[in-house]
Amino acid sequence: MIRNIIFDWSGTLVDDLPAVWKAINHVFVRSGKEPFTLENFRQEICLPIQKFFDQHPPGVSMAQVQEWFHERFRQVQDEVEPLPHARPFLELCRERKIRTFLLSALPAVHYEPQAERTGFGAFIGRPYLGVPDKRPAILELLKENQLAPVETLFIGDMQHDIETAKHGGVFSCAVLTGYSRREQLQTSGPDLMVAHLEELRDVLEANDWVFT
């Protein structure tokens, strides 16, 4: 039975794709590179983010990349909106006393205003933020919180999320509300793939929260 849920943030609970796309393009324009179309960006973006910039080197230091990215993201992050079905799912987790965690590459400086504005921060038991690579981080999360992997589900929208779940030995659910397309996520072999969190709720409720 699922007693613990680890959430990704971007593309899983909130829609920040337009804001991140604009911020990444700001980096590319500042470094003299051609900006991405939204479709190309969705095809190319990957985590850890260093891997993305290794494939698309802007010709500047990572420190400069981060400075330009955060400079633009602060200007556009008010565009970040809660995803449909996210709040009811979080409310259900609270009702069922599911322990909730967040494992996200998003830095605290951006998470905190988003969490406050959406109200989602109140539903997250413990956030792990600014995580460059979620694979070692999930092992730390499981150990620190004494979570049994067989009782834990990780929900995310990117291949790295599914790879992270497998690395931690927990169940994985891919949602199609974020960055990666169905065909991209399928290559990582998630235990379950759903259109959105309402569909996941229906699956869990139908199986009395037993994940097999």
In a domain, 212, yes or no: no
**85 and 141 both lie in a single domain:** yes
- Is 70 exceeded by the pLDDT of residue 95? yes
CB neighbours of 99 closer than 8 A, spacing ≥ 6? 3, 4, 5, 125, 145, 147
Give the per-residue pLDDT at 59: 74
**66 and 90 both lie in a single domain:** no
Give the per-residue pLDDT at 57: 66
Domain interval for residue 104: 4-15+81-206
Count of structural domains, the chain: 2
Three state DSSP letters for 18-83 = HHHHHHHHHHHHHCCCCCCCHHHHHHHCCCCHHHHHHHCCCCCCHHHHHHHHHHHHHHHHHHCEEC
- Is 80 exceeded by the pLDDT of residue 212? no
- Is 90 exceeded by the pLDDT of residue 159? yes
Instruction: Kindly report the pTM of this predicted structure.
Output: 0.94
- Is 70 exceeded by the pLDDT of residue 41? yes
Mean pLDDT in residue range 66-95:
95
Burial class (CB in 10 A: 0-12, 13-18, 19+), 198: middle
Give the per-residue pLDDT at 63: 87
Most confident range (mean pLDDT) of 29-33, 46-50, 75-79, 164-168 is 164-168
Mean pLDDT in residue range 81-104:
97
Give the per-residue pLDDT at 139: 98
Distances (CA, A) of 60 to 130, 134, 151, 155: 21, 25, 43, 33
Examine the fold and report which residue of 60, 79, 98 is the final residue of a domain before the chain moves on.
79
Assign 3-state DSSP to the chain and report helix, strand, coil percentages, each to 5: 50, 15, 35
In a domain, 56, yes or no: yes
**170 and 101 both lie in a single domain:** yes
Mean pLDDT in residue range 156-182:
96
CATH code of 109's domain? 3.40.50.1000
Instruction: Determine how many CB atoms are found less than 10 A away from the CB of residue 96.
Output: 13
Mean pLDDT in residue range 186-207:
97
